[in-house]
Amino acid sequence: MDDVLQRIEQEIPRLRRYARYLRREPDHADDLVQECLSRAIAKIDTWQPGTNLRAWLFVILRNCHINEIRREQRVVSLDDDSPASEPTLTVPGSQETRVALAEVRNAYLSLSEEHREVLLLVAIEGLQYEEASAILEVPLGTVRSRLSRARQALRQALEAGRGAMTGGPRRSATEKAHG
């Protein structure tokens, strides 16, 4: 039991990252992680040893988020004038690095919600397609398709951003040689 609790503790940074993606506000994200951990510990006997603990925790976190959204839809907030806080990155290094990261961030944010979520789970969190499929409750083929389209859209957004900065689309070495 202590081993499982220690493994759960090791997953907290990943849970926080996913919660921040889902909630966009650090305080709400931390509350979501706390609720997830409480549920996971209370229902630890439902986890089957030998299965992926991280995926199990992500499913719990996502379900907690969905439940929270449903609760919020039933309650109307009268003081909802505060702007949503954007996550900020602290980036040491050159201006070039900051510009490149800003380009990637803007391209990522230009993607649809479905594309951002599948990229977060597979590319950032390193989950297997099957695990992402279970967490998102969609077929495996849908995960593959979304991921492929997300990567393509991300490339296009990055290329469009670079083209805008240089005054036109970038040409590959092959295009430059032939024309």
Whichever domain contains 37, its CATH number is 1.10.1740.10
| Shared domain check, 101 and 64 | no
Tell me, what amino acid is at 93?
G
Domain contains 96? yes
Residue 43 lies in a domain: yes
Which stretches of the chain are DSSP H helices? 2-10, 12-23, 26-42, 53-74, 95-109, 113-119, 129-136, 140-166, 173-178
* Helix 140-166 with 129-136: angle, nearest 10 deg: 100
Q: What is the CATH number of the domain that holds 111?
A: 1.10.10.10
The pLDDT tens digits of the residues spanning 31-71 come to 999 999 999 999 888 888 888 889 899 999 998 988 888 87
Is the same domain home to 108 and 164? Answer: yes
Where in the sequence is the domain holding 51, given as residue range(s)?
1-75
User: Tell me: the pLDDT tens digits for 147-166?
Assistant: 999 999 988 888 887 665 55
Number of domains in the chain: 2
